[in-house]
Amino acid sequence: MKRVEIIKCSERFDLELVDIASDKSISHRSVIFSLLSDRPSKIGNFLLGEDTLASLSIAEQLGAKVEKNGADIEIVPPKRLSEPEIFWIVKMRVRE
């Protein structure tokens, strides 16, 4: 298995986006970007769908602390990502 090395940015940046519609792609990406941060991230209007909630679960398995208050989410990233103890295997059914 190949390893991926993530190099921190040389400078911090703050990004605030407001009044964005609830969106599946943005919700997934916000979880991923939150894991790469060194500070807590607050996400408003998070889409509460089965697959986006699975992304939050994966973030928790990687060591993040996730607080949910309806569609408002706070993710506190771990100092270092940890390998999950449980691996989820998804079987895709192929139609014949």
What is the per-residue pLDDT across 76-85, written as a single tens digit (0 to 9) for each? 999 998 887 7
pTM of this structure: 0.73
Asked whether the predicted pLDDT for residue 93 surpasses 60, the reply is: no
Element containing residue 51 per DSSP (H, E): helix 50-61
**What pLDDT, in 10s, does the model give residues 18-67?**
677 788 999 999 999 999 888 899 998 999 999 999 999 999 999 999 99
The domains of the chain, with CATH numbers, are 10-96 (3.65.10.10)
Say how far apart CA 49 and CA 20 lie, in whole Å: 17
Query: Band of the pLDDT at 73, cuts 50, 70, 90?
Result: very high
pLDDT the model gives residue 86:
60
**Greater model confidence, 92 or 60:** 60
Reported in sequence order, the residue ranges of 1-96 that DSSP labels E, i.e. its strands, are 41-43, 65-69, 72-76
By CB atoms closer than 10 A (0-12, 13-18, 19+), residue 23 is: middle
Top-confidence residue, 15 or 58: 58
